[in-house]
Structure 1
Amino acid sequence: MNQRGNHNFYNAVEANPIIAAVKNMDDVENCCRIEEIKVVFILFGDICSLEEIINKIKKAGKTAVVHVDLINGLSSKEIAVEYIKKNTAADGIISTKISLIKKAKEEGLYTVLRYFLLDSMAVENIRQQQNQVRPDFIEVLPGVMPKVIGKLYSFVKVPIIAGGLIVDKEDVMEALDAGAMAVSTTNHQVWKM
């Protein structure tokens, strides 16, 4: 991804730090009607419906980022990233797999490396893995751990998105105050903040 392209992604996130994470077509329709939403994380679909989902989001003028690990019919191999690049208008991918993030960067897609923070070993993995690949963002779940987000903010070299269990303004503000650049959420009420 060229520097200008990455800059566009950062600008979209900075324009509104609330990222709509969609898990069905009703969510897609709803977030597309909210002008302030600039970035949409696609958490559902299959190889037959993905193009339609992305096209709806793009038609609404939003950045479409596909959680490749959650799309039915795609494998956990690099070919899944090639498929998304060649057959859809997606702007980027989310994955927990470093190999898919590396491939997406090669293909010129935006990248979000997702981590589940289950324990201190998960935090240490982030410290070690950040040198293996430089995603555009890392997303940490659950996103309602401001103390841990603050710790990550002190050593990660890419912007942080807090996701999972974000349900109100207080959760959003705590994550942002701790150092997250944005939050991703499926909660429609938070989308409208």
Structure 2
Amino acid sequence: MEQRFYDAVEGNPVIAAVKDETGLEAALSSEDIQVLFILYGDVLSISGIVERAKEAGKLVLVHMDLINGLSAKEIAADYICYQTKADGIITTRPAMIKRAKELGLYTVMRFFIIDSMALSNIHKQYASVRPDFIEVLPGVMPKIIRRICRESRIPIIAGGLIMDKEDVVSALDAGAISVSTTNRDVWFM
């Protein structure tokens, strides 16, 4: 299943992290953008957002923690799977990762690396649920990305604060398989 994701980011390693309707329209209009991370919406609108992206031929992952009205319970993964037909989820919650994997969804576990303690806790958190991908934020820390890549066999996505081509190249050179960003200038570089 992961192969489809790899194929999608191989041609363009930049993932459009979409935070509003304007961003969605811009991402949908580009043939180069193959993967979307949906970072907005609520339980009433998320199905329509995903449907539009899927109709445009995009691979769609929904950031469950950011969808208004979704509970922190595992049943929310079922909702995303069956009601939206998204390809996968993004979350900081291990229980959501576990349930989404049972449902056959792509899973991205998001980690905010704010200090050395957060960095040292990554392995403990992902080891028990084995997400398909790890997203590290901020994504402008090549030394940290390189270290995580050495310690983990799980592919790394660098996200957050990606501002330009240099940030993209640095993250990829450090071992990330792709970057996610809300910065539309980076989407189309």
SS at match of 2:72: coil
Q: Contact conserved, 2:16 with 2:37, CA < 8 A, in 1?
A: yes
Q: Which runs of 4+ in 1 moved over 4 A?
A: none
The alignment's TM-score, normalised by the length of structure 1, stands at 0.96
Q: Where does residue 134 of structure 2 map in the other structure? A: 138
Q: Distance in 2 between matches of 1:36 and 1:160?
A: 21
Q: Secondary structure at the match of 1:130?
A: helix
What fraction of aligned residue pairs are identical, expressed as a percent?
A: 59
Selected match of 2:178 from 179, 182, 186 = 182
**Cα contact 1:130–1:156 (8 A) shared by 2:** no
Q: Is the 8 A contact 2:140 2:161 kept in 1?
A: yes
Task: State the SS of the aligned residue for 2:136.
Answer: strand
Q: What stretches of structure 2 of length at least 5 have no aligned partner?
A: none
Match of 2:65 in 1: 69
Superimposed CA distance per residue, residues 105-157 of structure 1 (whole angstroms, 9 cap, x where no aligned partner): 00010000000001111111112223201111100000011111111111011
Aligned to 1:28: 24
Instruction: Please say if residues 130 and 157 of structure 1, whose CA atoms lie closer than 8 Å, have aligned partners that are also in contact.
Output: no
Cα displacement (A) at 1:179 = 0.8
Match for residue 7 of structure 2 among 5, 8, 11: 11
Corresponding residue for 2:163?
Answer: 167
Post-superposition CA distance 1:70-112 (Å, at most 9, x none):
0000011101001111111200000000000000000010000
Q: Name the Cα RMSD after superposition.
A: 0.8
Q: TM-score, normalised to structure 2's length?
A: 0.98
Residue ranges of structure 1 left out of the alignment (5+ in a row): none
Number of residue pairs matched by the alignment:
189
Q: Distance in 2 between matches of 1:11 and 1:136?
A: 14
Between the aligned partners of 1:130 and 1:187, the Cα distance in structure 2 is 27
Tell whether the 8 Å contact from 2:13 to 2:177 is kept in structure 1 after alignment.
yes
The residue that corresponds to 1:115 in the other structure is 111
Aligned to 2:93: 97
User: Is 1:125 aligned to 2:114, yes or no?
Assistant: no
Deviations 1:56-78 (A, max 9, x none): 11111000100000000001110
Aligned to 1:54: 50
Q: Which amino acid aligns with 1:141?
A: L
- The residue identity in structure 1 corresponding to 2:85 is A
